[in-house]
Amino acid sequence: MKGGPSQQALIQPDREQVRRVIARHGWNVCSCQIDSPGILHWLAPCGDAAVGYVTRARTHVVAGAPICGPEHLGHVAQEWEQISASMGRRVCYFGAMQPLCTQLVTKGTHSAIACGALPIWNPDRWCHNLNGNRGLKAQLRRARNSGVTVCEWTPERAMHSNSLWECHRDWRSRHRMAPMAFVSGTAGISELRDKRIFVALQGEQVVAFLLMIPIPARKGWMSELFPRRHTAPNGSVELLVHHAITAAQSAGSNMFTLGFSPLSTSKLSNTPANPPWVQAAFRFAQTKYMPYNFAGLERFKQKFRPEEWEPVYCISSEANFSIRSAAVTLCAFTEKQYLSKVVRHAMAFKTRQIAGNLRLYTNLDNGSQT
């Protein structure tokens, strides 16, 4: 894996080359997602390692981790950071997993925060786990009793289905933001290469659907999207997830995940605590004043009783993780309209706090006068 810093970081390689690297070495759950529109790529001179990134505020924000053989991970990260430094860019890794964190943070030149968790299931044990989950089994029965059936569609059929696109538009219209646009924006449905799609039907109408994206080096699958109509019968998405995990088991897969749960750090027992300012920011982001229900997303995934939760990190090439790095990462993978909503909600929250304090002081003052 030789090759020094160069201006090749500015040259966009052929996407088929990047896809071949993903197919060989894609271990991080973000690996296949770097093929999404809007993600730039760097291909190592050796041709067997790649990085997907975006540029914000003179920072290269990497989606996940460098994609390469595990024995070369540290070297490829160092090579990429040298190239970025030669261009006057800092580096952050968003959605990184434990292997990269171990490689970089232990050296003392990088810092990391746990930004969420990844729920993991072993498909071979799914049926056994389901038998002990009475609440989930009841939801599956409700969906079936409402006439919901699930089948797998080809990408070609999905792309030309008006009913499926209507379902997607219905879901998007009811979601005030799409966290991490490169994960759950419209790119997920517009690019179906190498993905599997399961559709929940009530009669001829698509009431919900689920996309599965491969994680080649882990011989696993991740559910990337599960949109539903507002009229979908209760249990429709749960029935989709059941069929998806069962299909993964039939394919001989080793793992299945419902994807990254932002801010879900309560399930991580062996992960160092985040800095106090990060913990405070996470608590605020999970309040009712924010325009997205992160806690609700975690509860939805928890109902399937994951066998384990893997930590997901944001790593920065600095000794102490800074507010600037957090802000740049948020800007890189979040839709612009959501950022303005965050600011408005934060200002409204602060205004309510000030108004509450004023009422408290007024009441105390009136009480002292009497």
8-state DSSP, 32: G
For residue 57, the model assigns a pLDDT of 86
Report the helix count and the strand count for the chain, using DSSP H and E. Answer: 14, 12
In the chain, ranges of CATH 3.40.630.30 domains = 123-253
For residue 363, the model assigns a pLDDT of 57
For residue 357, the model assigns a pLDDT of 53
Token pair recorded at residue 134: 């009475």
> Which has the closest alpha carbon to 259: 218, 222, 228, 305?
222
For residue 25, the model assigns a pLDDT of 96
Q: Residue 168, SS3? A: helix
| Distance linking the first and last C-alpha atoms of the chain | 80
- Residue 68: partners with Cβ closer than 8 Å, 6 or more residues away: 1, 21, 25, 44, 48, 49, 50, 76
On the 0-12 / 13-18 / 19+ scale of CB atoms within 10 A, 155 is middle
For residue 104, the model assigns a pLDDT of 93
Q: Residue 103, SS3? A: helix
Q: What is the pLDDT of residues 328-340, one digit of tens each?
A: 887 776 655 555 5
Distance CA 245, CA 131 (A): 14
CATH of the domain spanning 123-253, picked from 3.40.630.30, 3.30.360.10, 3.30.420.40, 3.10.580.20: 3.40.630.30
For residue 53, the model assigns a pLDDT of 92
Q: Which residues of 52-86 are buried (b: 16+ CB within 10 A; e: fewer)?
A: bbbebeebbbbbbbbbbeeebbbbbbebbbebbee
- Give mean pLDDT in consecutive 10-residue pieces for the chain, a chain of 370 residues: 45 89 93 84 93 91 94 95 93 94 89 93 95 95 97 93 94 64 49 85 96 94 89 96 96 94 78 85 72 80 94 93 87 60 55 56 55
Radius of gyration of the chain (CA): 22
Phi, psi angles (nearest 5°) of residue 333: -120, 25
> Which has the closest alpha carbon to 350: 258, 275, 284?
284
